[in-house]
């Protein structure tokens, strides 16, 4: 509870004694490039393979002649949109972006760069952390949309390549009984996960003390705690919005 | 002038500062000296507000920094320049951007004026052609100079230096000391330097405060430090063979 209280106070301090609005714009753009653009490669690779493997495994399990082929792509679509793109990508995102945020802030802490900001009269939490959280909440939903598209496309490519299901059936399946709310749900999850990864990682990095060893520990703790928070939030959101 | 009144600071069950009071005078280089682990850096961090004292006050020209509201604290902090032990330059910014940083954040100065001010400060610390270098590309001594340039770029009223000579060769140390002293006199600012380097004490210690085990044991100038009868101070001052020979 004490840690939760400290975390909430940390989040609260971002909104007091802020600098000029203009200074946040360039910082947020820089962070968007770091967390969004620089994650494109890993998101692309993971998503395409995730879609391809999901398609093959679904086809492997649906062997009954009474189940039409298009059900395979329907399952791939729903799994991707509801769970794989927002949640699995969030785990990958925590590993890449979360560890980076914690490492960066941890290094700044132990080399007194954060102290330097404080001495200048700058609210270091607001200046360093707020742009990271905003950028994360802007970019991660876009990454999720991209991931969902690439995952479904990866399934399509593997279907064509292996002949598990025809291209026509695959397209039919991904259009069949499409529920628009699933996309809304995925985007809500994306916003929440983006906030959790950025804020937890920033918290872990910001309060690092000691040396290089502690920075490494902070990065690891950032990823572990983010993953746990993602899974808890995933359950809560599913319970709240789908049940 | 900075006035420190009866400062106490405790970490866990260890009391690091035990009722420190001192006055740091304007236009002088005020030194806080003492062995490692005696609370010098903790005192400095209490003065600049990086650590909140458990008891006591810090007054900047009569303004209560410790118990003042956030606005007053921010106002005072914006009059402070600080050189950190490891220079604390921002890794992602080059030398010019590092020095310009306080101007970008704290002023509305036009870009040309900012650049002129940065170049003036770089010239002042003897680094004319280092504008575009990254912190990783420059030596420890150069980093300290850039740190000083960043500390003075916004024309501070108070300059703090935490171990400005640590990790530097004797010649560069003297250059940095001289630079700090020159800047102090030139701009008539209140400078507080934390050090355990006796060369610095003898070179620039116009006012010296000696700390030992959390207490202030002695106060004076570099001219009379060798004449003190405080044992802990004598042990500190005459620790090396050269000083013993001088004695």
Question: B55 has which bridge partners?
Answer: B8
User: How confident is the model at residue B236, as a pLDDT?
Assistant: 83
Q: Is A64 helix (H, G, I), strand (E, B) or coil?
A: coil
Pairs of residues, one from chain A and one from chain B, whose beta carbons lie less than 8 Å apart: 54
ipTM reported for the complex, 2 dp: 0.87
Query: CB-side exposure of B45: number of CA atoms within 13 Å?
Result: 18
Give the one of A16, A108, A115 whose C-beta lies nearest to B84's C-beta: A115
User: How confident is the model at residue A204, as a pLDDT?
Assistant: 95
Mean pLDDT, chain A, rounded, equals 92
What is the side-by-side order of every strand in the sheet holding B14-24? B14-24, B2-11, B55-60, B63-64
What is the phi/psi pair of residue B61, to 5°?
Answer: 45, 45
For the cut 90, the answer to whether the pLDDT of residue B70 exceeds it is no
User: How confident is the model at residue A141, as a pLDDT?
Assistant: 96
CA–CA min distance B88, chain A (Å): 5
Q: Do the Cβ atoms of B105 and A19 come within 8 Å?
A: yes
Cα A28–A32–A36 angle (5° rounding)? Answer: 165
pTM (whole model) above 0.90: no
**pLDDT tens digits, residue range A117-171?**
999 888 899 999 999 999 999 999 999 999 999 999 999 999 999 988 999 999 9
Residue A198, Cβ density class (10 Å: 0-12 exposed, 13-18 middle, ≥19 buried): buried
**pLDDT tens digits, residue range A25-57?**
989 999 999 999 999 999 999 999 999 999 999
- The answer to whether the CB of A34 falls within 8 A of the CB of A144 is no
Q: State in Å, rounded, how far the first CA of chain B is from the last one.
A: 33
**pLDDT tens digits, residue range B17-54?**
999 999 999 999 999 998 888 889 999 999 999 999 99
Higher pLDDT, B146 or B198: B146
Q: Do the Cβ atoms of A119 and B78 come within 8 Å?
A: no
CA distance B152 to B154: 6
Q: Mean pLDDT, to the nearest integer, of B216-225?
A: 87
CA–CA min distance B78, chain A (Å): 5
**Token digits of residue B29:** 């280089």
Cα B90–B34–B156 angle (5° rounding)? Answer: 40
Higher pLDDT, A229 or A23: A229
Please state the separation of Cα B144 from the chain's center in Å. 12
Q: What is the largest CA-CA distance in chain A?
A: 72
With an 8 Å Cβ cutoff, is A179 touching chain B? no
Give the one of B75, B80, B89 whose C-beta lies nearest to A119's C-beta: B80
Q: What is each CA distance from A203 to A49, A114, A215, in whole angstroms?
A: 33, 13, 12
Q: Do the Cβ atoms of A121 and B88 come within 8 Å?
A: no
């Amino acid at each position: 509870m004490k840690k939760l209280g400290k975390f909430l106070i940390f989040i609260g301090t971002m909104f007091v004694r802020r600098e000029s609005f203009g200074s946040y714009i360039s910082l947020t753009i820089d962070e968007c490039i770091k967390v969004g653009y620089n994650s494109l490669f890993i998101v692309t690779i993971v998503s395409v393979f995730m879609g391809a493997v999901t398609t093959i495994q679904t086809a492997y399990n649906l062997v009954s002649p009474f189940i039409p082929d298009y059900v395979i792509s329907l399952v791939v679509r729903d799994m991707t949109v509801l769970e794989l793109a927002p949640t699995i990508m969030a785990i990958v995102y925590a590993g890449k972006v979360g560890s980076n945020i914690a490492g960066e802030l941890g290094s700044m802490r132990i080399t007194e760069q954060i102290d330097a900001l404080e001495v200048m009269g700058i609210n270091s939490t607001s200046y360093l952390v707020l742009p990271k959280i905003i950028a994360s909440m802007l970019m991660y939903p876009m990454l999720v949309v991209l991931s969902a598209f690439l995952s479904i496309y990866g399934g399509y490519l593997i279907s064509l390549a292996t002949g598990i299901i025809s291209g026509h059936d695959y397209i039919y399946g991904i259009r069949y009984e499409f529920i628009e709310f699933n996309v809304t749900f995925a985007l809500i999850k994306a916003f929440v996960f983006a906030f959790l990864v950025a804020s937890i990682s920033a918290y872990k990095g910001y309060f690092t003390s000691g040396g290089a060893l502690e920075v490494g520990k902070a990065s690891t703790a950032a990823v572990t705690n983010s993953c746990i928070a993602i899974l808890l939030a995933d359950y809560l959101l599913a319970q709240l919005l789908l049940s | 002038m900075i006035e420190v009144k009866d400062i106490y600071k405790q970490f866990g069950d260890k009391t690091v500062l035990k009722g420190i009071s001192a006055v740091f005078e304007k236009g002088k280089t005020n030194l806080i000296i003492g062995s490692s682990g005696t609370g010098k850096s903790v005192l400095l961090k209490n003065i600049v507000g990086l650590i909140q004292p458990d008891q006591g006050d810090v007054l900047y020209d009569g303004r209560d920094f410790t118990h003042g509201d956030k606005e007053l604290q921010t106002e005072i902090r914006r009059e402070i320049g600080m050189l950190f032990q490891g220079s604390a330059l921002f890794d992602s910014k080059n030398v010019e951007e590092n020095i310009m940083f306080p101007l970008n954040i704290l002023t509305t100065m036009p870009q040309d004026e900012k650049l002129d001010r940065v170049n003036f400060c770089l010239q002042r610390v003897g680094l004319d052609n280092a504008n575009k270098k990254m912190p990783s590309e420059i030596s420890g001594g150069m980093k300290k100079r850039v740190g000083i340039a960043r500390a003075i770029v916004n024309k501070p009223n108070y300059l703090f230096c935490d171990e400005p000579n640590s990790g530097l060769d004797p010649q560069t140390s003297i250059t940095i000391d001289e630079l700090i002293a020159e800047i102090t006199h030139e701009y008539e600012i209140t400078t507080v330097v934390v050090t355990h380097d006796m060369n610095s004490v003898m070179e620039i210690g116009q006012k010296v405060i000696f700390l030992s085990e959390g207490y202030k044991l002695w106060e004076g100038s570099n001219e009379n430090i060798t004449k003190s009868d405080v044992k802990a101070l004598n042990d500190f001052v005459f620790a090396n063979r050269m000083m013993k020979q001088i004695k």
